Structure formats: structure tokens, C-alpha cells
Amino acid sequence: MRFRQIAASALTVACLCTCYATTVFAKNVSAYSFSDSASPLYDVAKNAYSELGITGTKAECVSQASGDNAVKITIEQTLQKYSGWLWIWDSVDDASWTKTENSDLARLANTKSGLTSGTYRVKSVFTLIDKYGKTETITVYSDEKPVN
């Protein structure tokens, strides 16, 4: 009987220890910026994005990036179509473009007409080189858009 009392007491103490909660208060929360998405931190690249607009069977593809101390930015832009199987995206024929800017800002805008029904996105690969020779490569995908 004594063993059961000791075991019950030990189990109660163990449960209380594991359920103990600590309240934490953050000081000056307004000094921080919150976002509902996570973004990686880059040394050179800032504000890289990829956008897709669909009007009828025409796609409008826009890719843009800027960089701190960037001296050269290359954009490789590809319109892709969802194959409908195993999350595979195929490149659309004659819908890949490349542009290089010797600047801290680069923008590439293109259109592709005659799309067939399906789901599309724009894949943008940005390569940025800063004045110290540091190179960063970032891949950004646009939102997916349907063509009916």
C-alpha cells in the first residue's frame, strides 16, 4: 500500500512539472515588423519578385529585383505550365527570356499569347553580383493562374 502512495505522489509531481507554463511578455512590440510569411535573408538581393497576369489566353510575365551595392543583375524568366501529374511544371515553348543589367535594379517584362487551358506560373531566377564580387542566386515563383 505504501508503494502505491509513493508511486501516485511521484506521478503527480511529474505531471505538474511537465504541465508548468511560463508567461512571457515582450517589451516594445511595436518596434518590430511582423509578416505572415517567412523570407530568407540575403546580403545583396532586395525586393525580388515574379508576377503573372492572365488575360484570356495571353500571359504577361514580370520579374524584378534590386540589390544593395549590386552592380550586375541577370534575370532568367520562364513561363511554366503545370503538367497535372506529380507536381511537375514544364517550360512553355518560346516563353523563356534573359536580361542582364549593369545596375542595382533590373526588370524584365514579356508576353506569351495562344496559351492552352491549364495552370501557369512564372519562374524567375535572379543572379546578383555586388561591387565586392559576392554573387547571390535566387529563384522566385509567381502565383499560379488558370487559363480556361
Cα distance between residue 44 and residue 32, in whole Å: 22
Look at residue 7 and tell me whether its pLDDT is greater than 80: no
Reported as a single tens digit per residue, the pLDDT across 62-73 is 999 999 888 999
- In the chain, the domains with their CATH numbers are 45-147 (2.60.40.1290)
Q: How far apart are CA 77 and CA 50, in angstroms?
A: 9
Average pLDDT, the chain: 84
Instruction: Judge whether residue 28 has pLDDT over 50.
Output: no
CA 142, CA 123: separation in Å to the nearest integer? 7
Helix (H, G, I), strand (E, B) or coil at 124: strand
pTM for the model stands at 0.72
Phi first, then psi, for residue 4 (nearest 5°) are: -65, -40
**Other beta carbons within 10 Å of 105:** 13
